[in-house]
Amino acid sequence: MYYLLILAVGIERVVELVLSNRNAQWSFTQGAKEFGRPHYVVMVIIHTALLVGCVVEPWALHRPFLPWLGWPMLAVAAASQVLRWWCITTLGRRWNTRVIVLPQEPLVRAGPYRWLHHPNYVAVVAEGIALPLIHTAWLTAGIFTLANAILLSVRIRVENSALGYT
- What are the domain boundaries of the chain? 2-163
The mean pLDDT of the chain is 96
Which amino acid does the sequence have at 155? R
Backbone φ/ψ region at 45: left (φ over 0), alpha (ψ -120 to 50), beta: alpha
- Which class would CATH give 2-163? mainly alpha
- Give 43-60 pLDDT, tens digit per residue: 999 999 999 999 999 999
pLDDT at 11 over 70: yes
CB 87 within 8 A of CB 119: yes
Note the pTM of the prediction, 2 decimals.
0.92
Residue 71, pLDDT score? 98
Residue 166, pLDDT score? 64
Find, among 16, 162, 41, the residue nearest to 102 by Cα: 162
Q: What are phi and psi of 62, to 5 degrees?
A: 55, 45
- Give 59-108 pLDDT, tens digit per residue: 999 999 999 999 999 999 999 999 999 999 999 999 999 999 998 899 99
Which amino acid does the sequence have at 146? L
Residue 156, pLDDT score? 95
The Cα–Cα gap between 65 and 31 comes to 49
- Rg of the chain in Å (alpha carbons): 17
- The pLDDT of 6-12, averaged and rounded, is 97
Residue 52, pLDDT score? 98
The Cα–Cα gap between 67 and 113 comes to 34
Backbone φ/ψ region at 122: left (φ over 0), alpha (ψ -120 to 50), beta: alpha
Residue 121, pLDDT score? 97
Residue 10, pLDDT score? 97
Strand partners, 101: 33
The Cα–Cα gap between 127 and 68 comes to 18
CB 96 within 8 A of CB 24: yes
